A and B are shown apart, each in its own frame.
Chain A
Amino acid sequence: MDFLLLQQLINGLMLGGVYVMVAVAFTLIIGMLNFLNFTIPALFMFAAVLMWATMTGNLPFGNEALEALFGNANLWIAGIVVSLVVTALISLVVERFTYRYMKAKYGDATEHALPLVSSLGFLIIFEHTVISAWGSDPLQITSPFGNATFTIGKILFSWPQIISLGLSLGIVALLSYIIKSTRLGRALRSIAERPDTATLMGVEVLRIVPVVYVITGLLCAVSGILFTINYTTIDAYVGDTVATVAIAGMVLGGLGNVWGAIVGGLLVGVLEVLSIYIVGADFVKVPIWGLLLLTLVLRPTGLFGHSRIGKGKF
């Protein structure tokens, strides 16, 4: 096999690692609450921008304190901490407005397009917060790990990318274990099955759902942070770009299926890099979205999904 092609395959898998976590976040919300959560791109972008702001001393306040606490060389650790904490808090606010108030008022929050529209509102809020605070131009960091690479044969690997791929697969495997084998996971699956029955069976739905939001928020944050470290350039719309491809990956794998999202995420990553390599950057949308459209029409359940999600609900 041509080694350049092999190199592209490796790069695709690395990029896929970023998509995997975003796709898993989407799939968790769709599987549990049956709606397409557009705050996920917003949280991804916000975490990435916070990482940038902390590392370059552009936070609105607290720059000196963080620098004193972590030291100048370790500001990337401060960035990770700030991004994770802020994203988790934001996820709780988002949960209030996309799920809790609707459920309190209208019984079933997952009916109709309400959560979808609210999450689009949040997307607008966060993108414009970033634009009005830091502008819409590309924001750049210098990677804290420099040019840490090694080669096997002729293939070039970069340490941060390897670590992120491992980290994202590890986190998702852990998540999959939690869903399958713990008490929390059983509660999650019962809510996904039927929220009302879950309540009757003693599952505290209003305490579990925020947990789902925080988990998905943290997944987005971790992948946003890894994206910033690996690709060093971000902007206010990076969430849209990444999330649309991640959505394609999620659908390919099957909605509501964590392992499907992993396979789908890696697949679209490889597909994207290969189609840039073979036909050129402008063409990249056609294979990914064409494949998605075909999947939806021919086999809406994707590779591993089950058919019960999305029946008559938005």
Chain B
Amino acid sequence: MSGYLESQLIIFCLSTVYAYGVFLPAASGQLNLGAAGFVTLGAYASSWFNAQVGLNLPVAVSIPLSMAFTGAISFLISFPILRTRGVYMVLATFAFAEVVSGLAINMEFLGGAAGMPVEGYISVAVIVPVTFAVILFCFYLMSTRLGLAFRSIHDDESVATLFGVDVRTAKVAAFTLGGMLMGLGGALYGHQYNFIEAQTFNVLLSIYILLYVLLGGTQTAWGPIVGAAFFTIVPEAFRQLANAMDWKWLADSRFIFFGAFIVLMMVFRPEGVVTRTFIDRCKGVLTGRGRARPAGDAAP
């Protein structure tokens, strides 16, 4: 595999892992705009557990340990954060990410603003299977009773409560598992690039991860992978096209088209690219049993 393709594959895998971390809370109706904070936690925790000045553990131990650490933090903050709703929850997760990044910059033993070199290295041969495992886990999770609970809370929280779903437990579970996945993504990032600095995990990263999920669709577990693939492949495709045709204007302005696409997408397909009806239709076409369900999924 060429170096270019490999680097793109790694970016795609990391984006997918982050996206599933935001997807789990989003599937149960909570918007998390603080992805960068959890990624920062995972990256710094794993690199510190792994470093000689830290705990000096092998990578195979430090990554799961950093997942546990990020999961524990997510679990603890999920209680105050889940007290908030809607706009307040977006703001609270956003503020959490800023606090984490502010603290990381000010901790001298983590390298401070200069960043932190990471010792242990993992290659693409580890990242791809791990990503695959994450995807399988999320598909499995969405097919269990807990996944059904997430879906019901996403669609209508009061009705879910009336039907005996333990809304609070399900939400805390979604938030904590999501935090763990983002921590895993951060740890993979650190050990792949061997250098982390808090400034890389900024507001724009949080925004992009949330966009992967919302554009891909929160109704099924296909959403994040489609969204992440789209966000990785389309700008690169634009760039390749610009290089091939020698269109300098396109190389400079590809993100403008991309932003315009996001806006139009919200007008024409607000539930994301992949919806439940879409999946049903695909199945119908594949098995030759015609249209499974009438249209009408677009309206909430």
Query: Which positions in A face B, CB cutoff 8 Å?
Result: 30, 34-36, 38, 97, 101-102, 105-107, 111-118, 120-129, 131-132, 240, 244, 247-248, 251, 255, 282-286, 288-290, 292-293, 296-297, 300, 309-314
- Of the stretches B98-106, B142-150, B183-191, B286-294, the one at the interface is B98-106
Q: In whole angstroms, how far apart are the Cα atoms of A285 and B36 in the complex?
A: 15
Return the CB mask of B85-108 against A: 1 if under 8 Å, else 0.
111101110111011011101100
Q: By DSSP majority rule, is chain B's interface helix, strand, loop, or mixed? A: helix
Interface pair B263/A121, CB less than 8 Å apart? yes
Return the CB mask of B253-270 against A: 1 if under 8 Å, else 0.
101101111110111001
Interface pair B112/A282, CB less than 8 Å apart? yes
Interface pair A314/B87, CB less than 8 Å apart? yes
Partner of A289, one of B98, B215, B260, B298: B98
Q: A106-B270, A106-B300, A285-B101 are in contact. Are A297 and B80 (CB under 8 A)?
A: yes
Partner of B88, one of A105, A124, A310: A310
Q: In whole angstroms, how far apart are the Cα atoms of A129 and B244 in the complex?
A: 22
Q: In whole angstroms, how far apart are the Cα atoms of A129 and B265 in the complex?
A: 20
Q: In whole angstroms, how far apart are the Cα atoms of A296 and B94 in the complex?
A: 11
Q: A36-B91, A244-B98, A247-B91 are in contact. Are A311 and B86 (CB under 8 A)?
A: yes
Tell me, rounded to whole Å, the shortest Cβ–Cβ distance linking B25 to chain A: 13
Residue B9 lies at the interface, judged by CB distance under 8 Å to chain A:
no
The interface residues of chain A lying within 8 Å CB-to-CB of B91 are 36, 247, 251, 292, 296
Q: In whole angstroms, how far apart are the Cα atoms of A300 and B270 in the complex?
A: 29
Residue B65 lies at the interface, judged by CB distance under 8 Å to chain A:
no
Interface pair A296/B255, CB less than 8 Å apart? no
Interface pair A132/B252, CB less than 8 Å apart? yes
Q: List 30 A-B contacts (CB under 8 A).
A: A36-B87, A97-B263, A97-B267, A112-B270, A116-B90, A117-B214, A118-B266, A120-B207, A120-B262, A121-B260, A125-B256, A125-B260, A128-B253, A128-B255, A131-B252, A247-B94, A251-B91, A282-B105, A285-B102, A286-B99, A289-B98, A289-B99, A293-B99, A297-B83, A297-B92, A300-B83, A310-B84, A310-B86, A310-B88, A314-B87
Q: In whole angstroms, how far apart are the Cα atoms of A284 and B298 in the complex?
A: 44
Tell me, rounded to whole Å, the shortest Cβ–Cβ distance linking B111 to chain A: 12
Interface pair B157/A296, CB less than 8 Å apart? no
When C-beta atoms are compared, the residue in chain B nearest to A309 turns out to be: B87
The interface residues of chain B lying within 8 Å CB-to-CB of A312 are 85-86, 157
Q: In whole angstroms, how far apart are the Cα atoms of A296 and B88 in the complex?
A: 7
Interface pair A118/B106, CB less than 8 Å apart? no
Residue B126 lies at the interface, judged by CB distance under 8 Å to chain A:
no
Interface pair A314/B90, CB less than 8 Å apart? yes
Residue B60 lies at the interface, judged by CB distance under 8 Å to chain A:
no
Q: In whole angstroms, how far apart are the Cα atoms of A244 and B92 in the complex?
A: 12
Tell me, rounded to whole Å, the shortest Cβ–Cβ distance linking B35 to chain A: 13
Interface residues on B, range: 35 or more
Interface pair B157/A35, CB less than 8 Å apart? no
Interface pair B102/A286, CB less than 8 Å apart? yes
> Could you list 8 further interchain pairs (A-B, Cβ under 8 angstroms) beyond the known A114-B270, A286-B103?
A30-B87, A34-B87, A106-B299, A106-B300, A117-B262, A121-B266, A240-B204, A282-B106
Partner of A102, one of B87, B204, B267: B267
When C-beta atoms are compared, the residue in chain B nearest to A291 turns out to be: B95
Residue B203 lies at the interface, judged by CB distance under 8 Å to chain A:
yes
Return the CB mask of B149-165 against A: 1 if under 8 Å, else 0.
00000000100000000
Interface pair B84/A300, CB less than 8 Å apart? yes
Partner of A300, one of B88, B204, B267: B88
Tell me, rounded to whole Å, the shortest Cβ–Cβ distance linking B170 to chain A: 16
Residue B51 lies at the interface, judged by CB distance under 8 Å to chain A:
no
Q: A36-B90, A128-B255, A310-B87 are in contact. Are A286 and B106 (CB under 8 A)?
A: yes
Interface pair A112/B300, CB less than 8 Å apart? yes
The interface residues of chain A lying within 8 Å CB-to-CB of B258 are 124, 128
When C-beta atoms are compared, the residue in chain A nearest to B263 turns out to be: A121
Residue B31 lies at the interface, judged by CB distance under 8 Å to chain A:
yes
Q: In whole angstroms, how far apart are the Cα atoms of A251 and B94 in the complex?
A: 12
The interface residues of chain B lying within 8 Å CB-to-CB of A132 are 252-253, 255-256
Residue B19 lies at the interface, judged by CB distance under 8 Å to chain A:
no
The interface residues of chain A lying within 8 Å CB-to-CB of B255 are 124-125, 127-128, 131-132
Interface pair B266/A117, CB less than 8 Å apart? yes
Interface pair B267/A105, CB less than 8 Å apart? yes
Residue B68 lies at the interface, judged by CB distance under 8 Å to chain A:
no
Tell me, rounded to whole Å, the shortest Cβ–Cβ distance linking A123 to chain B: 8
Residue B196 lies at the interface, judged by CB distance under 8 Å to chain A:
no
Interface pair B263/A118, CB less than 8 Å apart? yes
Q: A117-B215, A128-B253, A244-B203 are in contact. Are A102 and B266 (CB under 8 A)?
A: yes
Residue B113 lies at the interface, judged by CB distance under 8 Å to chain A:
yes
Interface pair A310/B85, CB less than 8 Å apart? yes
The interface residues of chain B lying within 8 Å CB-to-CB of A35 are 87
Interface residues of B in 262-286 (CB under 8 A from A): 262-263, 265-267, 270
